[in-house]
Amino acid sequence: MQLLALQHYLAIGAILFVIGLIGFITRRNMIVIFLCTELMFQGVIINLVAFSRYTNNLAGQAFVIFILVIAASEASLALGLVILLFRTKNTLDADAWRELKW
């Protein structure tokens, strides 16, 4: 029965992850796409911390620290690239980048 509490957290994590996923696929604004990436990170973090807590293994939380590091660096680089892309085509529309087609 105690397991249930873990599963609640896992469920929340899964829901957040999937919502972020849907947004990532759907939205056309490049910045919002990366924002949804961060949302996926949230889901993952919840999962990690929940497992860490419920199995008394601090590795999960340490991993979360590293995830934050990566998220930060990735956000900065990604936003830099988004700015550059924006300058090229003067639009934030991800659909403008279509050259890699058949």
Partner 1 sequence: MLGFLSTLQPADAGTGLYLIAPTVILILCVAGGVGTFLLLPGRKQSPRLGALLLIIAGLIFGLILFRTVVGQASSDTGPYFWIFSAIAVVGAIRVITHSRPVYSALYFVLTVFATAGLFILMYAEFIAAALVLIYAGAILITYVFVIMLAASAQTVGDRSPLAGLAECDIQSREPFTAACVGFALMGVLLFVIFDKAERLAQFNFTPPAAGLSADELVHGSTQSIGQYLFQNQMVNFELAGLILTVSMVGAIVIARRKVADINQRFEPSIETISANATPVNDDPRSIPVYGTTNPKQKSFPQT
Partner 2 sequence: MDALFAVKHSYLIPLLPLIGAIIAGAFGAKFLRGNSHWPIWIGVAISAVMSLSLLFGMVGFWHEGKPLNIVVDWYTWIEAGSFKATAGCFFDSLTAVMLCVVTGIGFLITVYAAGYMKGEEVYFRFFAYLGLFIFSMTCLVMGNNFIMLYLGWEGVGLCSYLLIGYYYERPSAVAAAKKAFLVNRIGDFGFGLGVMLIFLTFGTVSYFGTGVGTHTGVLELATLPLDQLSQIPGVNTSWVPMAMKWTPFLLMLGAFGKSAQFPLYVWLPDAMEGPTPVSALIHAATMVTAGVYMIARCGTLFVSNGAAMTTIAAIGAFTALLAATIALRQFDLKKVFAYSTISQLGFMFVGVGCLAPVAGVFHLVTHAFFKALLFLSSGVVMHAMSGELDMRKMSGLKRVLPKTHIFMLVGCLALSGFPLFSGFFSKDEIVAAAFGRSTFLGVVMLFTAFLTAYYTFRLYFRVFRGPLMVPHPPHDDHSHGSHDHHEEHHNHEPTLMMLPLALLTIGALLAGYFNFPTAHLGDFLGTSPSLTASYEMAVEHTVAVPHLAEGYGQVAEAGAHEPMISGLMVFSGLISIAGIFAAYVLHLKNRRLDDKLAEDLGPLTRLLEAKYWVDEIYQAAIVNPLRALGEFSYRFDRWIIDMLVNMSGWICQLAGFFLKFTTQRGYLQGYGAAMLLGLAVILIMVFMH
Choices 3-11, 25-33, 43-51, 59-67; region in contact with partner 2 by CB under 8 A: 25-33
**87 near partner 2, rule: CB under 8 A:** no
Residue 44 touches which of partner 1, partner 2, none (Cβ within 5-8 Å per kind): none
Which partner from the list partner 2, partner 1, none does 98 bind, CB cut-off 5 to 8 Å by kind?
Answer: partner 2
The token pair that represents 76 in the structure block: 């900065």
Examine residue 26 and tell whether it contacts partner 2 (CB under 8 A): yes
Residue 98 Cβ, how far from partner 2 at the closest point, in Å? 3
Residue 91 in tokens: 């639009």
Amino acid 9 reads: Y
Chain centroid, CA 54 distance in Å:
23
Segments of 1-102 assigned E as strands:
none
Amino acid at 40: M
Which of 13, 16, 20, 33 binds partner 2 (CB under 8 A)? It is 33
Could you say which DSSP state residue 56 is in?
A: T
CB atoms within 10 A of CB 26: 10
Q: How far is the CB of 100 from partner 1 (least distance, A)?
A: 14
